[in-house]
Structure 1
Amino acid sequence: MPSIPGIEITSREGTHILVYFYERRHLKKFYTKYIQPFLGQDVMSSTKLSMEEIINSARLFPSVTIFPHPYCVAYTGICNLNFEPSRLERLLEVVDGVEVINAGNIHRWNLRCALLGLYLKKSITGGSDGHSLYHMGRVVTIAEGEKSGPAMLDAVKNGRVRVVGKEINLLRKVASSTAKLNVHAAAYPGLLGKNIRYSYRVIRIKSVLIRQQLQLRYYRRRNRFNPFI
């Protein structure tokens, strides 16, 4: 059965990216030279590479780069507060495409992912994000033509694919997440640290926005009651 060599990488920011290759030897060289030296101690750990560094390294090979679940919980999707708007815009410009349906995501976030894909007019994919046999095939990316990995990647890059599927139910999501965490318990300290740092950043940014809104409301009210201002 034809297959596509690929890898999911967690950047220094804790955000995921998928890289698909036309040839296995390119994936092996990419991993050995550009990823393995910067890995954490556990498979759930982030690399020491920024998202830009990962994409630039992938660009050295015939490959397709995809942001999975761009909108999702916390920081694993690219559309999160770790990335300033200008930086996020640049990353969305250089990546080949985005995942528009993820079986492990929730419905409203998948809708936002789909709208992002339409807005960007880039390549789209869908995936089961499966960690058990039950998940496999819940979401698929379909293309007509030759049944080979390179032909499929060409179809993705040229926008000749369709995405079909739906999310798994909530209980299955909880069970899957629990199983993943149990397997990778050694990564808890690193994950906890990332969550704390991200939560602090969210609180800080939200606080600034709330303060700006209150100031704007105050000035509008003051101007309304003081015609001499």
Structure 2
Amino acid sequence: MLKCDLHIHTSFSRDGESGVEDVLKKAEAAGLDVIAITDHDTTKGAIYALGIDSPVLVIPGIEISTRQGHLLALGITEEIPKGLDFFETVRIAKELGALLILPHPYHQWRHGVGIKLKTAISVVDAVECFNSRYIVGAANKKAGRKAKFYEKPCVAGSDAHNARFVGYGLTLVDADKNVDSVINAIIAGKTEVRGKMTPLRAYTHQSWRNTKRKISGRVHKR
């Protein structure tokens, strides 16, 4: 079973705090076999990581901001425009051959697609049933229930925006250590979910930092 963290941000994300090298070093130190780098609306971090020599396998990916919320697309290096309708984004991503995961689908303040689109879960390949960046676990539990109802595989992700928390969301995948094998195993449901919560102080610190950044941006636009 490979130890995988399938939802990680680097400094290539607008709110990422750690460089790609630091993320890879922490993944290795945490005993991970595989990570997916899924920066917000860009694959530049993932592409950069693919050029670094590391014992940790990198699955390139992207967290796309659709009109109704976020979508993870793994196994691609192409960028998909943000702001499109969710189902149009799914269509484009599938044409590119991406593995599609619905991240934090029922979180009210984290762009959860499942809140706005009840049928969204039916068109993805897997559901993030454990996201470590929750103050309480209710939304994770709901994701797990919905995944079971729709017969979708469950995965986990740290959603780390700082290298310290890489590995906090852990997916065990019964696969060989290559991208195609991992992706096919996830689709086949050969996964187990583990994890622990990101400390509240770290989560609130980043939320406050992002809020200040947004306010500053609005002020400068005036």
TM > 0.5 fold call: yes
More strand by share: 2
Matched, 1:68 2:103: yes
Is 1:158 the counterpart of 2:213? The answer is no
SS in 2 for 1:152: helix
Larger Rg over CA atoms:
1
When the two structures are superposed, what TM-score results if normalisation uses the length of structure 2?
0.67
Paired with 1:187 and 1:150, the residues of 2 have a C-alpha distance of: 41
Which residue is equivalent to 1:19? Answer: 73
For residues 35-54 of structure 1, what are the structure 2 equivalents within 5 Å? 35=81, 47-54=82-89
Secondary structure of the corresponding residue to residue 101 of structure 1: strand
Measured in 1, the distance between the counterparts of 2:179 and 2:191 equals 14
Any idea what the Cα deviations from partners look like across 1:36-57, whole Å, max 9, x if unmatched? Answer: xxxxxxxxxxx33000110000
Higher relative contact order (CA 8 A, sep 6+): 2
Q: Unaligned regions of 5+ residues in structure 1, if any?
A: 36-46, 190-229
The residue type equivalent to 1:76 in the other structure is H
Q: Verify the 8 A CA contact 2:114 2:121 in the aligned structure 1.
A: no
CA drift of 1:145 comes to 3.0
* Alignment counterpart, residue 130 of structure 1, candidates 154, 160, 180: 160
Bigger mean CA deviation after superposition, 107-116 or 175-184: 175-184
Q: Secondary structure of 1:156's partner? A: helix
Q: How many pairs are equivalent?
A: 163
Is there any run of 5+ residues in structure 2 with no aligned partner, and where? 1-55
Q: Who is 1:95 aligned against?
A: 124
CA distance in 2 between counterparts of 1:176 and 1:75 reads 13
Residue 210 of structure 2 is aligned to residue 180 of structure 1: yes
Q: Tell me the CA shift for residue 183 of structure 1.
A: 4.6
2:66 and 2:83 in contact (8 A); partners too? yes
